[in-house]
């Protein structure tokens, strides 16, 4: 009995199975959704009548901030990622995700970040209170002192790291793990829309990580990126944040579109209308353009008029593909045999609400109209129609649609219909009044009784209670179905996509591909099935190490804080070494199937595809920092003279050392390609020595600079910001070099073991990519800091 319980627990904590990780994601995200909803209800209660003092201004600001942060980052996206974990591999016939342990690590990092968000409420001074957008300098320690905000930002960084790892994993999975027969044109719509989502995540989250790392550096290390008014840090933050923030809107929305596209086909009995128009316009208009509209959030920050017009036009242009998608969705219903089951109701409701939210969005593309709407409740109404209306309704459709697949049981249709009707009414009572509150500022904790504000706010608050009450029905449904629901037929909706057992002739869509895995799907008794157990304790342990270490960071000036950091680092080191040993001893092996649809990456190995995906996000990550530095140089009234602080000869020498290590690493790779293990070891050794010399010189340079008074804490503003940027960027690069040196020890050990051969040397190949990338960054950092 006891043993059984332990095994059960192990089965969840150490799991790397995509379905179990998916279920963990879904339940965890719903928990955070609950927390976010409670915060929202607190706010709506405070605003239900004028001059209310239910909440203080300070706590209201914490609630408004964390409601946004938690709902967007810990509820909406992770719920979609949970579905993606469970269903993307099934839909494309893959056994699991491309990197199962990395997937588990993504989940645990997400949870760890979430725990930081929760505990931030309970430290003295409370949580972050600058809004989810945290316009600087409000988030710096001068205006938001205390450990709470620091913990929020650190947890947020963990989440962004988790998302980046997940993006690499999903892109590799979708392109490299498809079963024979699942060609590009047969990829189901949910997988497609998850793919678009993941691509947007891959390229936008690095900018957010960069912005948050700069902010945490300000709060913890005392750099001055966001506190020195003379370099206009507010605009720097706005750019970095919204460069991420606008694609984020589509990141939240597109998974729901994927669900809606599946549900519409199944419940109308018609194939998706204009499917290729939807896919192509999303791929070539929505995705690229989502990175080119962010400045419509900055129309009143005083950016030049020409720039406002460019971004106004790009914003209006991005509404066009969404118009096409919406109309194609509606056209799908034409000549159909529409069954109004709960998934269909929520999908249709989501489309209706998206139409309203989309149209109010067009208003916000106009710089002239923005002079009234910016920062008002009109904006709040608009994005809730999109993020709650379209996204949450779409995802709830997904819950009802896939619940029979995940549990093998059927939910109660009558209750689900009531749930929809009450939700739909409650939603509109809650959010429609906000469209009318065009003059009421967002995020104010109280207001006087003027005009129609008391009426509209009162109505909205009533709507909030109705909407929230309706969700109790959802929670009851899920739990009740899971434990007590009547058995469901294996494919209750007659869906044609491959996550459902294809017992009968598919109703719509593509024919089922060839291959044995369909049989595997058929025999599966979902919910009770024995999940194949590839357990690994490393992901959770590694996360625990990171969690403990970061928990100490806000308190690093006390000995208790230092001790916490050290304990965390020990756990981290233990699990990293353990992970490496697993690989050395081949204890955790993922067997890739020989055949599969891999176009257009059929010539690339799985690991290399993952590595290049990761590197492309690193381009944005480092590029954002370099961009921030260029911005600071352009905004700063003056700068330190070339050659006056940094020694050019030493910098040049160090550059040559690093470049030479790039050469020896390339030679190491060439050696093993010819099967020469001895030369591989020799060149790895030389690379290691050159890299170490580079770091040694770096450290001595820093010691020298510090002794000369080139310090972040300098009273001279120019020196302070110059030192901030130098130590931060060069230090970040140094951290990458150091990480590379550590990995090299592992590579040398594996080389000595003779585990790299002419045929199998992917580890060396990928490390060579990483090491060269570190070189590339330095090619820019050297001239930027030493010569310009």
Segment 519-538, which members bind other proteins (CB under 8 A)? none
Q: What residues numbered 362-421 form the site for other proteins, per CB under 8 A?
A: 362-363, 365-372, 374-376
The dihedral formed by the CA atoms of 134, 137, 142 and 145, expressed in degrees to the nearest 10: 10
For residues 135 and 465, which CB has a smaller minimum distance to other proteins in the complex?
Answer: 135
For residues 373 and 579, which CB has a smaller minimum distance to other proteins in the complex?
Answer: 373
**Residue 273 touching other proteins (CB under 8 A):** yes
Q: Are 254 and 282 in contact (CB under 8 A)?
A: yes
> Angle CA(53)–CA(58)–CA(62) in degrees, nearest 5?
110
**Residue 234 touching other proteins (CB under 8 A):** yes
Q: What residues numbered 649-668 form the site for other proteins, per CB under 8 A?
A: 652, 655-656, 659-660, 662-663, 665-667
| Number of residues in the chain | 788
Q: Are 17 and 103 in contact (CB under 8 A)?
A: no
**Residue 251 touching other proteins (CB under 8 A):** no
Pick the binder of other proteins from 13, 635, 650, 686 (CB under 8 A): 635
Pick the binder of other proteins from 630, 706, 742, 752 (CB under 8 A): 630
Taking the complex as a whole, the smallest distance from the CB of residue 305 to other proteins amounts, in Å, to: 7
**Residue 327 touching other proteins (CB under 8 A):** yes
Pick the binder of other proteins from 2, 5, 334, 595 (CB under 8 A): 334
**Residue 508 touching other proteins (CB under 8 A):** yes
Taking the complex as a whole, the smallest distance from the CB of residue 76 to other proteins amounts, in Å, to: 21
**Residue 130 touching other proteins (CB under 8 A):** yes
Taking the complex as a whole, the smallest distance from the CB of residue 276 to other proteins amounts, in Å, to: 7
Q: What would the x/- binding string for other proteins be over residues 285 to 314, using CB under 8 A?
A: ---x--xx-xx--x-xxxxxx-xxx--xx-
**CA nearest 610: which of 582, 628, 594, 590?**
590
SS3 for 517-571, per residue?
HHHHHHHCCCCCCCCCCCCCCHHHHHHHHHHHHHHHHHHCCCHHHHHHHHHHHHH
**Residue 708 touching other proteins (CB under 8 A):** no
- List, as own/partner pairs, every contact residues 508-513 make where C-beta atoms lie below 8 angstroms and the sequence separation is at least 24, other chains included: 508/265, 508/266, 508/269, 508/270, 508/271, 509/188, 509/265, 509/271, 510/185, 510/186, 512/181, 513/93, 513/179, 513/180, 513/181, 513/182, 513/186
What sign does the dihedral 420-421-426-428 (CA atoms) show? positive
Q: What would the x/- binding string for other proteins be over residues 138 to 167, using CB under 8 A?
A: x----x------------------------
* 637 CA to centre of own chain: 36
**Residue 323 touching other proteins (CB under 8 A):** yes
Pick the binder of other proteins from 102, 123, 283, 316 (CB under 8 A): 316
Which of these segments, 81-89, 182-190, 238-246, 572-580, binds other proteins (CB under 8 A)? 238-246
**Residue 360 touching other proteins (CB under 8 A):** yes
**Residue 686 touching other proteins (CB under 8 A):** no
Burial 431-443 (b: 16+ CB within 10 A, else e): bbbbbbbeebeeb
**Residue 775 touching other proteins (CB under 8 A):** yes
The dihedral formed by the CA atoms of 202, 207, 210 and 214, expressed in degrees to the nearest 10: -160
Taking the complex as a whole, the smallest distance from the CB of residue 274 to other proteins amounts, in Å, to: 5
**Helix ranges, 708-752 (H):** 717-752
Pick the binder of other proteins from 324, 466, 607, 693 (CB under 8 A): 324
Q: How many CA atoms lie within 13 A of 212 on its CB side?
A: 22
Q: Using CA atoms, how far apart are residues 568 and 439, in angstroms rounded to an integer?
A: 49
Taking the complex as a whole, the smallest distance from the CB of residue 275 to other proteins amounts, in Å, to: 8
Taking the complex as a whole, the smallest distance from the CB of residue 207 to other proteins amounts, in Å, to: 7
**Residue 489 touching other proteins (CB under 8 A):** no
Q: What residues numbered 447-486 form the site for other proteins, per CB under 8 A?
A: 447-448, 450-452
Residue 441, strand partner residues: 376
For residues 355 and 743, which CB has a smaller minimum distance to other proteins in the complex?
Answer: 355
**Residue 137 touching other proteins (CB under 8 A):** yes
Q: Are 777 and 629 in contact (CB under 8 A)?
A: no
Pick the binder of other proteins from 612, 702, 718, 755 (CB under 8 A): 612
Binders of other proteins: how many residues, by CB under 8 A?
Answer: 157
Q: Are 726 and 785 in contact (CB under 8 A)?
A: yes
Taking the complex as a whole, the smallest distance from the CB of residue 616 to other proteins amounts, in Å, to: 4
Taking the complex as a whole, the smallest distance from the CB of residue 257 to other proteins amounts, in Å, to: 15
Which of these segments, 128-136, 487-495, 516-524, 744-752, binds other proteins (CB under 8 A)? 128-136
- What Cα–Cα distance (Å) separates residue 385 from each residue in 123, 349, 394, 416, 465? 34, 11, 12, 21, 17
* 277 CA to centre of own chain: 27
Pick the binder of other proteins from 52, 141, 232, 647 (CB under 8 A): 232
Which of these segments, 77-85, 630-638, 739-747, 748-756, binds other proteins (CB under 8 A)? 630-638
**Residue 271 touching other proteins (CB under 8 A):** yes
Q: Are 508 and 413 in contact (CB under 8 A)?
A: no
Taking the complex as a whole, the smallest distance from the CB of residue 753 to other proteins amounts, in Å, to: 25
Q: What is the CA radius of gyration of the chain?
A: 27
Packing angle of the helix pair 189-221, 606-635 (nearest 10 deg): 50
**Residue 184 touching other proteins (CB under 8 A):** no
**Residue 269 touching other proteins (CB under 8 A):** yes
Q: Using CA atoms, how far apart are residues 191 and 88, in angstroms rounded to an integer?
A: 6
**Residue 645 touching other proteins (CB under 8 A):** no
Pick the binder of other proteins from 119, 123, 330, 567 (CB under 8 A): 330
Pick the binder of other proteins from 12, 31, 135, 574 (CB under 8 A): 135
Q: Are 568 and 542 in contact (CB under 8 A)?
A: no
Q: 432: Cβ–Cβ under 8 A, 6 or more apart, which residues?
A: 381
Pick the binder of other proteins from 674, 708, 715, 754 (CB under 8 A): 674
Structure tokens at 401: 């649609």
Q: Using CA atoms, how far apart are residues 58 and 127, in angstroms rounded to an integer?
A: 10
Residue 625: exposure state from Cβ atoms within 10 A (0-12, 13-18, ≥19): buried
Q: Using CA atoms, how far apart are residues 274 and 506, in angstroms rounded to an integer?
A: 20
**Residue 732 touching other proteins (CB under 8 A):** no
Residue 486: exposure state from Cβ atoms within 10 A (0-12, 13-18, ≥19): exposed
Pick the binder of other proteins from 320, 475, 570, 584 (CB under 8 A): 320
**Residue 338 touching other proteins (CB under 8 A):** yes
Pick the binder of other proteins from 124, 486, 516, 600 (CB under 8 A): 600
For residues 232 and 738, which CB has a smaller minimum distance to other proteins in the complex?
Answer: 232
Q: 666: Cβ–Cβ under 8 A, 6 or more apart, which residues?
A: 768, 772
Q: What residues numbered 48-77 form the site for other proteins, per CB under 8 A?
A: 56-58, 61, 64
Q: Using CA atoms, how far apart are residues 427 and 419, in angstroms rounded to an integer?
A: 12
Assign residue 135 a region (left: φ > 0; alpha: ψ between -120 and 50; beta: otherwise). beta
**Residue 619 touching other proteins (CB under 8 A):** yes
Taking the complex as a whole, the smallest distance from the CB of residue 433 to other proteins amounts, in Å, to: 10
Pick the binder of other proteins from 319, 412, 593, 647 (CB under 8 A): 319
Structure tokens at 388: 């709650």
Query: Coil, strand, or helix at residue 597?
Result: strand
For residues 2 and 368, which CB has a smaller minimum distance to other proteins in the complex?
Answer: 368
Q: What residues numbered 743-772 form the site for other proteins, per CB under 8 A?
A: 768-769, 772
**Residue 603 touching other proteins (CB under 8 A):** yes
Taking the complex as a whole, the smallest distance from the CB of residue 340 to other proteins amounts, in Å, to: 7
């Amino acid at each position: 009995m006891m043993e059984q319980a332990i095994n059960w627990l192990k089965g969840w904590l150490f799991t790397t199975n995509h379905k179990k990780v998916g279920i963990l994601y879904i339940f965890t995200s719903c928990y955070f959704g609950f927390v976010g909803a409670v915060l929202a209800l607190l706010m709506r209660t405070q605003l239900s009548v004028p001059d209310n003092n239910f909440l203080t201004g300070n706590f209201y600001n914490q609630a408004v901030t964390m409601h946004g942060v938690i709902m967007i980052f810990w509820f909406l996206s992770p719920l979609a990622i949970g579905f993606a974990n469970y269903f993307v591999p099934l839909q494309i016939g893959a056994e699991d995700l491309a990197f199962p342990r990395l997937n588990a690590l993504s989940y645990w990092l997400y949870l760890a970040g979430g725990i930081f968000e929760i505990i931030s409420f309970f430290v003295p001074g409370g949580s972050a209170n600058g809004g989810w957008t945290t316009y600087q300098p409000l988030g710096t320690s001068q205006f938001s002192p205390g450990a709470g905000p620091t913990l929020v930002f650190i947890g947020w960084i963990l989440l962004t790291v988790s998302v980046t790892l997940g993006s690499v994993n999903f892109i590799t999975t979708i392109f490299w793990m498809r079963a024979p027969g699942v060609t590009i044109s047969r990829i189901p719509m949910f997988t497609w829309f998850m793919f678009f989502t993941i691509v947007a995540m891959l390229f936008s989250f690095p900018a957010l990580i960069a912005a948050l790392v700069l902010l945490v550096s300000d709060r913890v290390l005392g750099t001055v990126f966001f506190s020195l008014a003379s370099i206009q840090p507010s605009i720097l933050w706005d750019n970095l944040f919204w460069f991420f923030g606008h694609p984020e809107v589509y990141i939240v929305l597109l998974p729901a579109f994927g669900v809606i596209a599946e549900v519409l086909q199944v419940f109308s009995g018609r194939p998706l209308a204009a499917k290729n128009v939807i896919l192509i316009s999303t791929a070539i208009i929505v995705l690229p353009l989502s990175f080119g509209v962010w400045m419509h959030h900055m129309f009143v920050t005083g950016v030049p008029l020409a720039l406002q017009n460019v971004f106004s036009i790009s914003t209006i242009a991005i509404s066009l593909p969404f118009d096409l998608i919406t109309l194609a969705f509606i056209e799908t219903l034409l000549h159909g045999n529409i069954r109004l089951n709960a998934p269909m109701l929520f999908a249709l409701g989501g489309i209706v609400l998206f139409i309203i939210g989309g149209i109010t969005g067009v208003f916000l593309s106009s710089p002239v109209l923005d002079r009234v709407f910016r920062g008002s409740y009109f904006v709040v109404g608009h994005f809730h129609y999109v993020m709650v209306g379209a996204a949450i309704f779409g995802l709830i459709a997904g819950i009802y649609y896939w619940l029979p697949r995940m549990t093998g049981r059927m939910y109660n249709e009558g209750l689900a219909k009531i749930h929809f009707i009450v939700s739909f009414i409650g939603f509109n009572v809650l959010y429609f009044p906000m469209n009318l509150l065009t003059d009421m500022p967002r995020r104010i904790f109280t207001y006087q009784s003027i005009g129609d504000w008391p009426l509209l706010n009162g109505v909205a608050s009533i709507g909030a209670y109705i909407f929230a009450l309706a969700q109790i029905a959802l929670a009851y449904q899920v739990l009740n179905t899971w434990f007590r629901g009547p058995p469901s037929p294996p494919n209750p909706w007659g869906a044609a996509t491959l996550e459902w057992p294809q017992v009968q002739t598919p109703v719509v869509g593509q024919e089922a591909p060839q291959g044995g895995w369909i049989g595997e799907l058929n025999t599966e008794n979902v919910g009770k099935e024995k999940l194949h157990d590839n357990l690994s304790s490393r992901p959770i342990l590694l996360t625990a190490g990171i969690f403990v270490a970061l928990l100490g960071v806000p308190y690093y000036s006390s000995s208790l804080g230092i001790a916490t950091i050290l304990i965390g680092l020990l756990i981290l080191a233990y699990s990293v070494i353990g992970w490496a040993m697993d690989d050395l001893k081949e204890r955790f092996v993922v067997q890739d199937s020989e055949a599969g649809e891999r176009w257009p990456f059929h010539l690339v190995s799985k690991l290399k595809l993952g590595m290049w995906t990761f590197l492309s996000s690193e381009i944005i990550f480092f590029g954002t920092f370099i961009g921030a530095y260029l911005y600071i140089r352009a905004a700063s009234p003056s700068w330190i003279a070339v050659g006056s602080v940094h020694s050019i000869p030493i910098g040049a020498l160090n550059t040559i050392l690093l470049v030479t290590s790039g050469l020896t690493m390339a030679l190491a790779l060439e050696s093993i390609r010819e099967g020469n293990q001895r030369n591989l070891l020799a060149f790895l050794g030389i690379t290691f020595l050159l890299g170490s010399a580079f770091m040694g010189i770096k450290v001595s340079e820093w010691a020298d600079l510090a002794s000369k008074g080139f310090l972040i804490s300098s009273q001279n503003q120019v020196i302070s910001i110059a030192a901030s940027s130098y130590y931060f960027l060069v230090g970040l690069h140094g951290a990458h070099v150091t990480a590379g040196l550590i990995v090299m020890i592992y590579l040398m050990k594996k080389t000595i073991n003779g585990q790299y051969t002419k045929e199998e040397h992917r580890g060396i190949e990928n490390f060579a990519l990483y090491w060269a990338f570190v070189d590339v960054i330095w090619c820019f950092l050297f001239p930027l800091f030493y010569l310009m």
